[in-house]
Structure 1
Amino acid sequence: MLREEILAGRLQGGSPVREHEVAERLGVSRTPVREAVSRLVAEGLLLKDGNRTAHVFRPSLAELLEIYEIRTPLESLAARLACESPDEEFLDALETAGDALRAARPGIDWARKHEAFHLCLLAGSRRPRLTALVRTLRVQSEPYVRFAVAFDFELREQARQDHLEIIQLARRSAAEEVERRVRAHLTATVTRVSALLDSHQVPAPGAAPAEP
């Protein structure tokens, strides 16, 4: 119920989601509400800092574009560094992460394994400062990706194809091609997510529910 209310725009971006209020409104105990909130936080539809009240994710096109403007060159650089002289351990780990992602169930399972794949590629750069910077930017942008995937199933399919190509290129130590593929992958992602936000297909703060 909570998920549907968020996706339909009935709960506006930035709105607080207090467990006791939701439980009272729905006529249920707080336990299933608490579990639902935890799942929605994992999906990126709700944001929660520490033990404070969860809030509905508030998408911002300007924020998204700024994050990717910084993230794209850094993450594609890390991918190139990871594939310049990749060892077998790294390649096996990347392939295992790719296999897990292809077998992932839609939703939280896919989101977690998608993140695991990219973090594996990132770690292969063996550049701790670069890795830390990109990880921070990924944390900031991941809610947008998770939010968009709930609307755009083609985004997940395109990501699957991109990840497979990245693994194949990494196996050939085609570092510069990996860099270009990752850059194109990130550019395509931000373009699709931006289009969803710009066209109001993703509920913005105060947006009315879409007509059936």
Structure 2
Amino acid sequence: MRAAAEQAAQSLRDEILSGAIPSGARLGEAELAGRLSVSRTPIREALSRLAAEGLVEIQPNRGARVATWSSEQLREIFELRLRLEPYAVRQAVPNLGDEQIAELDELAAEMLRVGTPGRHQDLAAIVELNRRFHGLFIDAAGSPPLAQALRGVTHAAVVTQNFHDYAPDALLRSLHHHVEMVAAVRAGAGEWAEAIMRAHLYNARATMIGRGVEEPDASAAPTGRGPERGTASAAPTGRGAESGSASAATTGRGSGGDDASATTMGEQG
């Protein structure tokens, strides 16, 4: 029974985080039991687990639904992410091995490929790629309490995030942030990666809840061993970024007018 509940919880978690089951959708026990070929008991246990993770809301006499968040709640969530996630990224940089860096590079390149306007654009595919990208940093930070806290607040962003809501310039900015974070990791520059993640979150927040928030002080962002402000060409090459990899886009060879480094110090989308 426990194995069935774990399997049901994982299936539902994947569907929610991928957007297959949208925010606010009702989760009927009978329908889910039939679809997942289990009894209602493991479904009930699975929903309870997802409720504990913040992905599902269970209301007395009304059943369960995928969690929703108000604008104010999303503001609070982004405040937490802005405090925790850039720090986690900086902590993760020295812990990331070659295999993990290669995976980050592949994810960043694939997000740029499927997110760039054209016949290959597939905005729905970005959600899972984005979740994996951020998850690698969270796991590599080496702090289970930090990972637990971040997964709670990043779930909300993933569930409500719709890349169709991004203006083209904001979307490209976000995609190039991923590329530049990989370059920072290859350079072993934790402060640089931290600054990019902070800019990345401001860009996402501006898209998801608007610009009615205070702009960050550009001079306050850590510079570390990262690039000079506004110049991608100053990015250190450090741990051997290859010209054919996604991280090469940060050196000015092809990122075009949406160069992510212009937002490194905290520009909103």
Relative to its length, the structure with more helix (as a share) is 1
Letter in 2 for 1:186: L
For residues 182 and 18 of structure 2, the distance between their equivalents in structure 1, rounded to whole angstroms, comes to: 30
Structure 1 residue aligned with 2:200: 185
Looking at structure 2, the residues matched to 73 and 42 of structure 1 have their Cα atoms a distance apart, in angstroms, of 26
Deviations 1:114-172 (A, max 9, x none): 111111122221222211211111111223322xx223242321111111110001100
Where in structure 1 are there 5+ consecutive unaligned residues? Answer: 1-37, 199-212
Matched, 1:67 2:77: yes
After superposition, where does 1:22-171 map in structure 2 within 5 Å?
A: 42=19, 45-48=22-25, 50-51=27-28, 60-104=70-114, 105-146=121-162, 149-154=163-168, 155-171=170-186
Relative CO higher for 1 or 2, CA cutoff 8 Å, sep ≥ 6?
Answer: 1
Question: How far apart are 1:85 and its partner, in Å?
Answer: 4.6
How many residue pairs get aligned? The number is 159
Identical amino acids, percent of aligned pairs: 19
**Consecutive unaligned residues in structure 2, runs of 5 or more:** 1-14, 30-62, 115-120, 214-269
1:21 equivalent in structure 2: none
SS in 2 for 1:70: helix
Question: CA distance change for structure 1 residues 40 and 114 in 2, over 3 Å: closer, same or farther?
Answer: closer
Matched residue SS, 1:46:
coil
For the aligned residue pairs, the C-alpha RMSD in angstroms reads 3.0
Separation in 1 of the partners of 2:209 and 2:165? 13
Larger Rg: 2
2:181 and 2:193 in contact (8 A); partners too: yes
- 1:166 touches 1:181 (CA, 8 Å); kept in 2? yes
Structure 2 counterpart of 1:179, which letter? E
Shift of 1:183: 1.0
